[in-house]
Amino acid sequence: MGGLGLHNLYVEQGERQISNLVGHLCQASETGRMMMIEHEWCQVQSGTGVNLLESPQRGYDYVESCWIISIQQFLVEYDLRIPTLTILSYFATVMNS
């Protein structure tokens, strides 16, 4: 951003949110469990079978604003995807053992 060398804080926030999400899910931490619950709740509110983070799309303005939706909007903006089915299935396996 300009000649001052300032970082784009929106991009930095998005990167760190994704990093924290993936990190906590892969560690199967208590925070990861809460993130997974929030992801599932957002998925229910969206009313679609399309995974919000694997195939992010515009048009979920009616879903409650939350951390997962913030990540989803960042993914849409920069045309990114998170292979959450792999991560979530790993998380479920670890939590059930």
Within a domain: 2 = no
pTM of the model: 0.79
pLDDT digits (tens, 9 = 90+) for 27-64: 878 998 898 889 989 999 999 888 888 888 888 888 88
Count Cβ neighbours within 10 Å for each residue of 52-71 and write b for 16 or more, e otherwise. bbeebeeebeebeeeebbeb
Is there a domain that residue 51 lies in?
yes
What mean pLDDT, rounded, does the chain reach? 84
- DSSP-assigned states of every residue in 9-59: HHHHHHHHHHHHHHHHHHHT-HHHHHHHHHHHHHHHHHT-SS-TTTS--S-
Model pLDDT, residue 73 = 92
| Domain span at 28 | 9-96
CA angle 77, 81, 86 (to 5 degrees): 160
Structural domains in the chain (count): 1
pLDDT the model gives residue 70: 93
At 77 the pLDDT is 93
Whether residue 28 lies inside any domain: the answer is: yes
* pLDDT confidence bin for 24, thresholds 50/70/90: confident
